[in-house]
Amino acid sequence: MENEDKQEEAFDAFAQTGSAQVYLLRLYITGMTPNSKRAVENVKRICEQHLKGRYELEVIDIYQQPTLAQGEQIIAAPTLIKKLPHPLRRLIGDMSNTEKVLLGLDLRPK
């Protein structure tokens, strides 16, 4: 339910701005491991650079919410899930390879 609300909000935002698609992103990390820290930094940086104003990022620590790991089919950490726009994508790793992240987010033509 929460998800849907957020999706609606995102759609609203998209409708209001009238610009390119709105991105709904979730980043699943495991506590404060180096990989997790790097991933958070990298994702934030990339989003600010390429999706400024049209993204929504949620960082979730699966140590805190282990049930989410099953529900979201998380196996690797860190994992970035692009919920919107479709298709759904999973990006795993510390997001240090910006090219690959952009490719995964469909921000670069393949």
Binding site for other proteins (CB under 8 A): 28, 30, 33, 35, 38-39, 42, 62-63, 66-67, 69-70, 73-80, 87-97, 100-101, 103-104
- Measured between alpha carbons, how far is 56 from 75 in angstroms, rounded to an integer? 23
Rounded to whole angstroms, how far apart are CA atoms 28 and 40?
9
Shortest separation between residue 5's beta carbon and other proteins, angstroms = 24
Query: Which CB atom, from 39 or from 47, has the smaller least distance to other proteins?
Result: 39
User: Nearest Cα to 90, choosing from 39, 36, 27?
Assistant: 27
Identity of the residue numbered 84: L
Q: Find the shortest distance in angstroms from Cβ 23 to other proteins.
A: 15
